[in-house]
Each structure stands twice: as C-alpha cells, then as structure tokens.
Amino acid sequence: MKDVSIIVLDFGSQYTQLIARRLREEKVYCEIVPYFTKVEDIKAKNPKGIILSGGPASVYDEGAFEVDRAIYDLGLPILGICYGMQRIAVDFGGAVVRSTHHEYGKAELHFNDEATSVLFDGCSDGTVVWMSHSDRVEKLPEGFKPIAHSDNSPYAAIADESRKIYAMQFHPEVHHSQEGHIMLRNFARKICGVDEKWDMGHFLKEQIKKIREQVGDGKVLCALSGGVDSSVVAALLYEAIGDQLIPVFVDNGLLRKGEREQVESVFKVHLKVPLITVDASEHFLVKLAGVTDPERKRKIIGHTFIEVFEQEAKKHDGIKFLAQGTLYPDVIESVSVKGPSETIKSHHNVGGLPDWMDFELIEPLRELFKDEVRKLGLELGLPESLVYRHPFPGPGLAIRIMGDVNIYDLDLLREADAILLEELKASGYYNKTWQAFAVLLNVKSVGVMGDNRTYDNTICVRVVEAVDGMTATFAHLPHDLLERISRRIINEVDGINRVVYDISSKPPATIEWE
C-alpha cells in the first residue's frame, strides 16, 4: 500500500474533493476516505496529517457523523474545516450552537495578534474567505485558542498548537477563499512536514504498475467515447498492457457532427491503437424512444452501453476487465462512494457493474479532476488538440435535447452545435472556455423569415468557464460573437428561429441541462 501524505475524512461536503485538488496542486499526495474509517486503516496508510472535511449536518443531529476518536491519539497534526471544526470542538469538550447570524458567502478574515499561527504564514490580514455555516463554536475546548475571527465569527479559526490541532469555520479549499491554498499548503508542508513532491509523472508510473498487477495476463475491454477521459484511459492502458487492450468505440447515434470519423482517425492513425467500432445507433434510439425523463435517459444509455460491451466481449477470449474513464466529479455527483455526499445526478459510467456482467472494473482516473487528466494525457504523449478538447458527456446529445430523443431533433442539434464550436474556435474562445454546447429546448415560438410567419424551435447556447467542473460561471462572450453564432444558426439550420444564451452559473444550475 502506497503511503499517503494527507488523509481527508469526508463528512459529506460537496467541497471535500476540492481539498484534495488544492493539495495536489501543491504536489501533496492525499486520499479521501469516509469519516467512519477505522484508525487501523488510517495508520496503515502512514499519513503525516489528517483533515476533517465540512458536511451538511449538525454535530447535534440524531445520528450525527462521528470519527473514530482514536485518531486524536495518533499524535498527527489535524485540521478541521467547517463541520470538521465543530466535530473537533465537541469531541474535545467545547460547545457548538446555532448562530443567530448565519454566515454564507464571502467574509474578511482577521488574525489574532496574540495567537499568531504558522497556519497563516504568508497570508494577509483581512483576506477574503468563504463561509457556509449556520452552527458555530460558542465555547472553546480546553487548550484551544482563537487564532482568527470575522465579523460574525469570533472563532473563525482556532488552534491547540501544542497538539497541532487546528480548525477553521470557513472553507479554504474553494476558489473564493483567496489565500486558502496557502493555508492548506502551510498545514501540509510546515505543520505536517510533508516534503515529497507528487505529480502526474508519479501518478502515471504508479497506475501502470497497478494496472499490470491487476490485469496479469487477462484482457481489458475499454469503453471509448472519443473524449479526453476515455482517450487518456485507452492510451494509459495501451502503455501498460499493449495488445491485451481491446478498445471499443460505440457509435450510439448520440454523437456530435463528424465525431465518429474524428475518433477513428485519432486512435487508428495518431495513437496506432487497434480500434473496434460498433454501430449501435439504431439500438440506442429504439431504447430511448418516447423517454423524456433525464434520469431515465441516463440510466437507459448506461445500461445499453454495458449490454453492447458484453456482446462485443463475447467475441474475444480472455476478457476479464472493463475499463472506464470515470472522474472524481462524476463520482461526487452520482453516488456517495467515499462518504455521505448528496447525490446530484447519476452518470452512465459510475456505480459499478450489474451482477450479470462477469467483468472486473478498471477506473484508473477515478481519483482525478479533469485538469489532472489533461496533464496525464500530455505525459502519455497525446496531442494537445485532443487533450484540451471540451468535455462531452457519455449520454451525448440525448441529455441536450429536452424531451423525446429522435433522429430529426438529433440532426437539428448537431448542425447548431457544429456552428457554435466552429465560431468559438475561429474567434479563439474555444480554448478560453471550459465547455460549450447547444441545447435543443423543444420550445417553439413565433418568428418571421422573409414575409412568412414561422413557428419553430429554440436553441440555447451554453458556454462556461471552470477549472474542474465542480463550479462554473457563464462565459462573458463578446456580443458580436453571440450575434454571429445566433445569425448563423437561424439562417443555416432549418427548424430554428430563435437562439438564447444561458447565463446561469454552477451552482445553483448544473453545466449540462439534464
């Protein structure tokens, strides 16, 4: 078992994985485990420090999440964040109450001069942090002192320096906490003494070794979509096991314009990977006929993918494994794999395999964020044009059509989407944004073309800026670019007479519409 520099105990915060992300940016290797992980399992990973994450519950709720209190006897530095702070306060004899002033959003953090802490080395007094809490610590445990405060939180951060136990009411891991990454770095480097540097080069070597050990002389069926994630998985597996890899690309009829041809060119010509293409478009569309509920769409597509792969697997001897490009955000939003995080939506490639499928699952990217996957792709020698391609969901255009999925609407959406991407690339905004796509709203409105009245469909353009997809803001595209996109879609795509632009952010909206 690989030693872990920092262990993060997950209490269900939607931000937990951002803690891991910030630490990895500082080249600190960490792992997230459920809050209920036993101390023996933690000790086996040989960590140098422990972080208790935030969470949606109250420490006084019935069945409140608790840690194995033996972790406090390990002598390791501990940092509690939000719920983790309240957990520490209660566990050490302090008191937590409902605050009369709930604190959500940005706050100024001021350091207590009499209790200067190495945790804030290099941070400026008055730095902006992100609060998200209703409970607050009212009474400090014995041995703890306040080291920072905000207008509504006299105990915004506390510490027992002698035992190296620290706690923050705010979230240093989110982007809005301006110097939060410095605080997390200080905890890992200066307090926990982590000195080794971890990067994608290390991850690549570890994964190749792990894949070879797991696969042995077996064969791996690899699910390819042509996107960044599955491409990196295929390249990684081919690097590790060569011809033991059976890469299968399924044309599900839900792809963008020219997608199949592009995928076949990249893998067969550039990567020299033998690619099997299965045309299952009719099969998928039959299964989706009349289905309008987005969760049912996702589940049908996921189950159909697995059916197709099983049918293909039967044509080859020795297949024992199925590889997928599952990422951390997929896991977070689908199911509480690591801890008690709330389900947002299901993903077609998350949650394991059905009982009737005799494959072991290989998900080498399961612990990575999208930007880390791109770095890994470059380590593997993939072209930048592929590595920096915008994310494309496994369910494809099915979740970008509101309502029933049919050939007519798919063709309509493909043409509009192709125009959007073409204009973004020509203007240079494709590489400046995280994700861009068109959505067919299936909302008709009256229009005028020439001297004729029209009653046609509406396309919504969605373009967002993000770092890892966990949060996102709509891209502030120039008005002349938006006008050009709108004009071309309306003029060139029969059946569209109106284009709108989505200016919602994540949260509260998701990036995809379904």
Q: Return the active site residues.
A: 82, 171, 173
- Nearest partner of 435 among 486, 400, 406, 479, judged by Cα: 400
Backbone angles phi, psi at 78, to 5 degrees: -130, 140
Known binding-site residue numbers for ATP: 225-231
Burial class (CB in 10 A: 0-12, 13-18, 19+), 190: middle
Asked if 470 contacts 434 with a C-beta cutoff of 8 angstroms, the reply is no
Asked if 363 contacts 313 with a C-beta cutoff of 8 angstroms, the reply is no
Burial class (CB in 10 A: 0-12, 13-18, 19+), 50: buried
Collapsed DSSP state (helix, strand, coil) of residue 135: strand
Angle at 254 between CA 250 and CA 256, to 5 degrees: 100
Asked if 221 contacts 32 with a C-beta cutoff of 8 angstroms, the reply is no
Angle at 328 between CA 301 and CA 49, to 5 degrees: 160
Per DSSP, 401 falls in state B
Strands, DSSP E only, in 381-475? 435-440, 445-449, 452-465, 473-474
The structure tokens listed for 169 are 């009411």
Length of the chain: 514
Measure the CA–CA gap between 182 and 173, rounded to whole angstroms.
Answer: 10
Strands 78-81, 165-168: parallel, antiparallel or unpaired by DSSP? parallel
Distance between terminal CA atoms of the chain?
39
The structure tokens listed for 69 are 């209190």
Residue 321 β-bridge partners: 220, 360
The structure tokens listed for 431 are 């590489």
Per DSSP, 390 falls in state P
Render the burial of 423-451: b for 16+ CB within 10 Å, e for the rest. Answer: bbeeeebbeebbbbbbbbbeeeeeeeeee
The structure tokens listed for 63 are 């069945």
- Nearest partner of 330 among 373, 366, 376, judged by Cα: 366
- Nearest partner of 93 among 165, 147, 143, 155, judged by Cα: 143
Measure the CA–CA gap between 95 and 455, rounded to whole angstroms.
Answer: 63
Collapsed DSSP state (helix, strand, coil) of residue 177: coil
Helix, strand, coil tally for the chain in percent (to 5):
35, 25, 40
